[in-house]
């Protein structure tokens, strides 16, 4: 969403790298040759049964214990119960405030706030966005989601900032926290919905807590980054003035980190919003619930009507926070006028709310809604009717899906599942070691092995084959689009809103169109993943190419390089780090929607997690979720050089 | 730093001990009872039949009894849990969950039965009627192997495809295919929405398909389907999930209420206990929701306006 900051290209010489990589691979081959007889003892096929640990029994009894003791055990009565009540009270307070303000009050407040932070254009946009939510007949659900978001974002920011503060001030804590944050990032949200629901039951508290787990890491990372990045000279100057540790923190380090903190806020809001729909699965209500309910009657139009307010909220909040972060906001005067401006904002809101109340119009007028469901459904029907099959020459989408399944997905899966288990681990090591350290490689191998130990080796490889296929498709499309966007400002402008919508549209909305186009199976699962992961890859690629040193390009041009030569020989190699990050983000995002794939016939781990959630089966759901986490860790290590790891989406 | 830590510790202490015990069985939604209205929270399951139950109950609660109604979409098993915690007040269509009944109704007493819904549910394997007309003998499981090539898809790996639906549904299909020795592969559509979309696609092109499906269901009106006879169901023949080799039972669907709500829910609880209608009634509402794309509220209004004799009994 927000601007990306990419580390500059590495200066290590490629040849040295290659030699070292060759040495590592040689060592690995040697090691295997020695170990081969031992490994062979365990069999040459799938993961050996002797090396698995079944968690079914302990997990099932843990789940029973929680359910049986939830109403009586002190842990729940005195801790989780209060936590849950606090969340309910907070969300309720915000919700009632929003309702009291009415649509007029909320719209005016939003517009005034946007005006203060980012100028008139965004103010008009914000007002329009709120009015659109009302016009779509979604005012009350929008307010429910907003209330949930306000509380969840505040909690995430508090948690994230505390963690970030700790990591930013202490090296030891930073090292200890990093793997935790890494794991939180690759953890698919569905996987931990289950334990959260078990403890808190379905509903708002569980949703808020799950959102905090999901949305806090970027805040923590960026806070730490900001604190560490503070200019040492400024710090030294402050120190020489005799400031204490705390004074230094409050007067120098935190203000200097303002930009990172606001970017963290921005990322946290975006991630919290993307969680809003997933939280609907556990009964959080609001817009997500409307999207989810619309699915039950296979009504894309109604799902879209609830999805659009989410997209609008996301775009408005994104622009607001990034405007505050860039400092593109209007120049700030001294303290007093600022206070007056805030007072005016508040007064305007109260005036609007009172006016609406006097006119008896706090609720959105019943007749004033726009019905988009009908036309949208007709459009979707028309599209699928004409594209599904029998299109001359190119064939219909169903044929493509069939071919993709038979020619790409099946061979990849068969290949992975046909390999001896230890050779899969070997390949992982061979990929991870040359680009990272032995630690990276070890983490990757252990993560992959963990799926076997958990007893889900086969489904994990099935999921892996889908992820690889989806990432490949995403990269081909994403790099091509990203290159186009980097080379033409017009393409870039045209793409921006499309990417915004793709990135913020709840994944549930495209579940049905994807099935209608590609049929039930793994192909629509891949399609859904591609739609979700594409925007990030396009953005990172375009940004990376644009940031390529202008001088290098200029000198290439002066040597008479054609456009194509500039691209292949200058821009792409120099943007190597950005491209690697694009690959990494592609992988992480594709994994994040593996569950959605499970909902359209992708099977494997995604289906198991959904099954666990639907049937309250902790053993199946949690093990599958853990396996997805392991796959995520493994793929993350294999695709990302050891140093510099940026926050998710950041 | 130290002062923050102390403050935090004191706050945590106050939170954990100072304000006494928090009751996890009384956990209403933060959106309930806003603006002084009394709220009833209904759980809705993902299939349209359950939506129809909830829509009509909601309409009557709102327009005839003056309640505000919140609906929450949850799958059945989590819905039981929500009932027990008081997050929802009623579950209107339960397809039989003996384990949950044992735990919540008998052992904990936090959930009570709300009587029958009046609709009988049945799960089975179905083929489209146009296919059954072309090949009448496809409707017996013993002939299914002969037709396996007909049902082959890219997903079924050379075998016939038996399409299963949402992970929340009760199914023995994997075991059935294995124990009956059928040359079929169970492909999970993963959600009812996906399954319905796929069935409609197949039907539009008059393609053969074999699917797990259930009655009552509005889709039958759009895509007529014929049931495939499985070995008959006998009491207890599905006791061991691995050894099942018989068809599915006919299940009278039941309602369940939160125990506190049943006791002190007043007119709303009394009404929900009496709520009882027929398969035809339910299908009428379901079809309006799913096919004519009316909102559940509009569909419920239409039905309520045209069937006063049915619902008046629920209020007496």
Asked if B292 and B226 count as a contact pair (C-beta separation under 8 A), the reply is no
Contact A197 B192 (CB under 8 A): no
Q: Which residues pair with B42 in a beta bridge?
A: B71, B90
Q: Are strands B250-258 and B111-128 parallel, antiparallel or unpaired?
A: antiparallel
Among the residue ranges A144-153, A496-505, B183-192, B229-238, the one predicted with the least confidence is A496-505
Give the CA distances from residue A473 to residues A406, A469, A639, B25, in Å, rounded to whole numbers and listed in that order. Answer: 16, 6, 16, 49
B117 and A486 Cβ atoms separated by less than 8 Å: no
What's the confidence (pLDDT) of residue A380? 79
Does B207 have pLDDT greater than 50? Answer: yes
pTM: predicted TM-score of the whole model, two decimal places? 0.82
Is residue B121 over pLDDT 70?
yes
Residue B246 contacts residue B232 (beta carbons within 8 Å): yes
* Closest by Cβ to B198, choosing from A295, A374, A515: A515
CA angle A607, A608, A611 (to 5 degrees): 85
> Which is more confident, B253 or A270?
B253
Of residues A358 and A155, which shows the higher confidence score? A155
DSSP, collapsed to helix, strand or coil, labels residue A136 as coil
pLDDT, residue B18, reads 46
Question: Does residue A350 register a pLDDT over 50?
Answer: yes
Shortest CA gap A581–chain B (Å): 32
Q: What is the pLDDT of residues A166-178, one digit of tens each?
A: 888 888 888 888 7
The B residues from 220 to 239 touching A (CB cutoff 8 Å) are none
Who wins on pLDDT, A258 or A90?
Answer: A90
| Confidence class for position A644, pLDDT limits 50, 70, 90 | very low
Q: Which positions in chain A touch B211 (Cβ < 8 Å)?
A: none
User: How confident is residue A400, by pLDDT bands cut at 50, 70 and 90?
Assistant: confident
Least Cα separation, residue A479 to chain B (angstroms): 29
- Residue B263: how many CB atoms within 10 A of its CB? 11
d(CA A180, CA A488): 40
Are residues B293 and A82, on separate chains, in Cβ contact within 8 Å?
Answer: no
Give the pLDDT band (50/70/90) at residue B21.
Answer: low
Going by C-alpha positions, the residue among B237, B251, B261, B291 that lies closest to residue B118 is B251
pLDDT on residue A473? 92
Residue B9: band (very low, low, confident or very high) from pLDDT cuts 50, 70, 90: low
Contacts of A485 (CB under 8 A, 6+ apart): A491, A492, A495, A538, A541, A542
Is residue B234 left, alpha or beta, with left meaning phi > 0 and alpha meaning psi from -120 to 50?
Answer: beta
Tell me the pairing of strands B68-73 and B39-44: parallel
**Residue A580 tokens, joined:** 């690697």
Report residue B199 as tokens: 């069935």
Residues 587-626 of A with CB under 8 A from B: 597-603, 606-607, 610-611, 613-616
* A3 pLDDT tier (thresholds 50, 70, 90): very low
Name the β-bridge partners of B210: B162
Report, as an integer, the average pLDDT of B57-85. 87
Residue that is written with structure tokens 């949950």 in the block: B100
Per-residue confidence band for B16, with pLDDT thresholds at 50, 70 and 90: very low
pLDDT of A476-496, one tens digit each? 999 899 888 888 888 888 888
- Put simply, the answer to whether B24 touches A201 (Cβ < 8 Å) is yes
Report pLDDT for A353.
78
Chain B residues inside the 8 Å CB shell of A402: 153-154
The mean pLDDT of chain B is 85
Residue A319 has pLDDT above 70, yes or no: yes
Residue B190 · residue A598 · CB < 8 Å:
yes
Residues 135 through 174 of chain B touching chain A, CB cutoff 8 Å: 153-155, 157, 163, 166-168
pLDDT band at B61 (very low <50, low <70, confident <90, very high): very high
Sort A399 into a burial class: Cβ within 10 Å, 0-12 / 13-18 / 19+. middle
Query: CA A510, CA B46: separation in Å to the nearest integer?
Result: 17
Q: Do B191 and A599 touch (CB under 8 A)?
A: yes
Count CB pairs under 8 A between chains A and B.
226
Q: What is the pLDDT of residues A415-428, one digit of tens each?
A: 888 888 888 888 88
Q: What is the pLDDT of residues A53-73, one digit of tens each?
A: 877 788 888 888 887 777 777
Chain B residues closer than 8 Å to A389 by CB: 205
Q: Reply yes or no on whether the pLDDT at A449 is more than 50.
A: yes
**How confident is the model over A202-223, as pLDDT tens digits?**
888 888 988 888 888 888 888 8
Predicted pLDDT at A336: 55
- Greatest mean pLDDT among A42-46, A646-650, B41-45: B41-45
Interface contact B83, partner A, CB < 8 A = no
Interface contact flag, B48 A296, Cβ < 8 Å? yes
Q: What pLDDT was estimated at residue A4? A: 40
Answer whether A73 touches B (CB < 8 Å).
no
pLDDT higher than 50, residue A1: no
At residue A327, does pLDDT exceed 50? yes
Q: What's the first-to-final CA gap in chain A, in angstroms?
A: 8
**Which chain B residues have a beta carbon less than 8 Å from that of A138?**
none
CA distance A494 to A499: 9
Q: Which of A4-8, A200-204, A215-219, A507-511 has the lowest mean pLDDT?
A: A4-8
Q: What is the pLDDT of residue A153?
A: 92
Distance from CA of B45 to the nearest CA of A (A): 8
d(CA A4, CA A195): 34
Contact B124, B230 (CB under 8 A): yes
The burial of A375, by beta-carbon neighbours within 10 Å (0-12 exposed, 13-18 middle, 19 or more buried), is given as exposed
> Tokens for A452?
């076997």
Cα–Cα dist B100/B129, whole Å: 36
Report CB contact under 8 Å: B194, A147.
Answer: no
pLDDT band at A103 (very low <50, low <70, confident <90, very high): confident
User: What's the sign of the alpha-carbon dihedral A404, A405, A411, A415?
Assistant: positive
Residue A38 above 90 pLDDT? Answer: no
β partners of residue B163: B187, B211
User: Which tokens go with A299?
Assistant: 């009504």
- Which strand (E) or helix (H) includes residue A139? helix A139-169
Choose from A293-307, A311-325, B221-235 the range with maximum mean pLDDT. Answer: B221-235
Measured distance CA(A226)–CA(A253) in Å, rounded = 8
Q: Is pLDDT larger for residue B307 or for residue A572?
A: B307
Does the CB of A627 have a partner CB in chain B at under 8 Å? no
Dihedral of the CA atoms A283, A284, A288, A291 (nearest 10)?
Answer: 20
Check residue B156 and give its pLDDT. 83
The arithmetic mean of pLDDT across residues A384-406, rounded, is 76
Q: pLDDT digits over A519-557, tens only?
A: 888 888 899 889 888 888 888 888 888 877 777 777 887
- The ipTM of this complex is 0.82
pLDDT in tens, A129-182: 999 888 888 888 899 999 998 999 999 999 998 998 888 888 888 888 877 887
CB half-sphere exposure, A212, CA atoms < 13 A? 21
**Given an 8 Å threshold on Cβ–Cβ distance, is A599 in contact with B190?**
yes
**Mean pLDDT across the stretch A112-116?**
86
| DSSP class per residue in A157-198 | HHHHHHHHHHHHH-HHHHHHHHHHHHHHHHS-HHHHHHHHHH
Whether residue B223 contacts residue B213, with contact meaning beta carbons closer than 8 Å, is answered with no
A638 within 8 A of A431, measured Cβ to Cβ = yes
């Amino acid at each position: 969403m927000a601007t990306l900051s990419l580390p500059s290209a590495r200066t290590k010489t490629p040849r040295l790298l290659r030699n070292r990589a060759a040495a590592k691979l040689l060592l690995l081959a040697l090691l295997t040759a020695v170990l081969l007889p031992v490994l062979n003892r365990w069999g040459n096929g799938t993961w050996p049964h002797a090396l698995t640990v079944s968690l079914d029994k302990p997990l099932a009894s843990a789940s029973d214990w929680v359910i049986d003791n939830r109403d009586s055990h002190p842990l729940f009565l005195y801790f989780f119960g209060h936590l849950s009540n606090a969340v309910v009270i907070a969300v309720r307070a915000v919700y009632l405030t929003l309702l009291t303000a009415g649509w007029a009050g909320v719209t005016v407040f939003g517009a005034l706030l946007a005006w203060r932070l980012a100028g008139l254009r965004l103010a008009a946009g914000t007002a329009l966005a709120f009015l659109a939510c009302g016009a779509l007949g979604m005012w009350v659900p929008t307010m429910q989601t907003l209330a949930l978001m306000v509380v969840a974002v505040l909690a995430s920011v508090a948690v994230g900032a505390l963690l970030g503060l700790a990591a930013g001030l202490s090296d030891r804590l930073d090292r200890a926290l990093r793997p935790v944050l890494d794991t939180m990032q690759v953890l698919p949200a569905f996987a931990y919905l289950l334990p959260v629901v078990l403890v808190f039951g379905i509903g708002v508290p569980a949703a808020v807590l799950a959102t905090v787990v999901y949305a806090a890491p970027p805040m923590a990372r960026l806070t730490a980054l900001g604190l560490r990045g503070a200019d040492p000279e400024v710090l030294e100057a402050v120190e020489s003035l005799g400031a204490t540790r705390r004074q230094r923190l409050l007067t120098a380090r935190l203000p200097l980190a303002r930009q990172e903190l606001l970017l963290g806020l921005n990322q946290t809001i975006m991630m919290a919003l993307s969680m809003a729909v997933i939280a609907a699965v556990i009964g959080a209500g609001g817009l997500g619930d409307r999207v989810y309910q619309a699915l039950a009657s296979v009504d894309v139009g109604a799902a879209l009507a609830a999805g659009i307010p989410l997209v609008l909220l996301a775009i408005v909040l994104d622009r607001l926070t990034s405007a505050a972060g860039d400092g593109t906001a209007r120049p700030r005067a001294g303290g007093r006028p600022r206070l007056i401006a805030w007072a005016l904002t508040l007064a305007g809101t109260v005036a609007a709310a009172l006016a609406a109340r006097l006119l008896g119009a706090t609720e959105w007028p019943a007749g004033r809604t726009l019905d988009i469901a009908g036309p949208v459904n007709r459009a979707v029907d028309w599209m699928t009717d004409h594209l599904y099959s029998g299109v001359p020459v190119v064939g219909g989408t169903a044929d493509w899906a069939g071919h993709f399944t038979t020619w790409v997905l099946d061979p990849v899966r068969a290949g992975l599942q046909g390999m001896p288990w230890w050779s899969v681990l070997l390949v992982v090591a061979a990929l991870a070691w040359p680009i990272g350290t032995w630690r990276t490689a070890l983490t990757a191998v252990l993560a992959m092995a963990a799926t076997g130990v958990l007893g889900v080796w086969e489904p994990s490889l099935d999921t892996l084959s889908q992820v690889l296929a989806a990432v490949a498709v995403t990269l081909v499309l994403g790099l091509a689009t990203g290159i186009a966007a980097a080379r033409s400002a017009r393409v870039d402008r045209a793409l921006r809103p499309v990417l915004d919508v793709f990135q913020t549209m709840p994944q549930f909305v495209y579940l049905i169109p994807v099935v209608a186009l590609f049929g039930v199976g793994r192909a629509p699962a891949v399609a859904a993943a591609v739609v979700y992961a594409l925007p990030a890859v396009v953005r990172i690629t375009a940004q990376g190419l644009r940031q390529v040193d202008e001088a290098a390009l200029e000198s290439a041009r002066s040597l008479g390089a054609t456009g194509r030569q500039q691209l292949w020989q200058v821009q792409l190699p120099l943007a190597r780090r950005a491209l690697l990050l694009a690959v990494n983000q592609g992988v992480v995002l594709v994994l994040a929607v593996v569950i959605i794939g499970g909902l359209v016939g992708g099977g494997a781990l995604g289906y198991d997690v959904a099954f666990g959630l639907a049937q309250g089966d902790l053993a199946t759901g949690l093990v599958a979720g853990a396996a997805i986490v392991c796959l995520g860790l493994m793929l993350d290590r294999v695709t990302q050089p050891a140093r510099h790891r940026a926050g998710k989406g950041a | 730093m130290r002062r923050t830590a102390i403050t935090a510790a004191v706050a945590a202490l106050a939170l954990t001990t100072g304000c006494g015990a928090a009751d996890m069985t009384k956990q209403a939604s933060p959106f309930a009872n806003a603006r002084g209205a009394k709220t009833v929270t209904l759980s809705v399951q993902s299939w349209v039949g359950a939506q129809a139950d909830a829509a009509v109950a909601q309409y009557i609660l709102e327009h005839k009894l003056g309640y505000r109604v919140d609906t929450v979409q949850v799958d059945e098993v989590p819905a039981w849990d929500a009932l027990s915690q008081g997050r929802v007040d009623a579950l209107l269509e339960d397809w039989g969950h003996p384990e949950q009944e044992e735990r919540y109704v008998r052992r904990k007493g936090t959930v009570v039965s709300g009587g029958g819904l009046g609709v009988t549910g049945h799960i089975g394997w179905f083929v489209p009627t146009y296919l059954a007309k072309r090949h009448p003998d496809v409707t017996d499981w013993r002939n299914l192997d002969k037709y396996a090539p007909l049902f082959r898809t890219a997903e079924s790996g050379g075998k016939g495809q038996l399409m299963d639906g949402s992970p929340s549904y009760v199914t023995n299909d994997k075991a059935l295919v294995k124990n009956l020795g059928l040359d079929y592969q169970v492909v999970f559509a993963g959600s009812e929405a996906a399954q319905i979309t796929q069935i409609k696609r197949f039907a539009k092109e008059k393609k053969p398909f074999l699917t797990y499906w259930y009655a009552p269901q509005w889709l039958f009106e759009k895509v007529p389907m014929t049931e495939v006879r499985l070995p008959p169901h006998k009491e207890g023949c599905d006791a061991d999930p691995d050894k099942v080799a018989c068809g599915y039972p006919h299940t009278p669907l039941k309602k369940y209420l939160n125990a506190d709500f049943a006791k002190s829910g007043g007119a709303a609880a009394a009404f929900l206990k009496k709520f009882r209608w027929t398969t035809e009634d339910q299908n009428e509402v379901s079809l309006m929701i799913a096919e004519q794309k009316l909102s559940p509220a509009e569909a419920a209004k239409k039905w309520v306006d045209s069937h006063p004799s049915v619902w008046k009994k629920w209020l007496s």
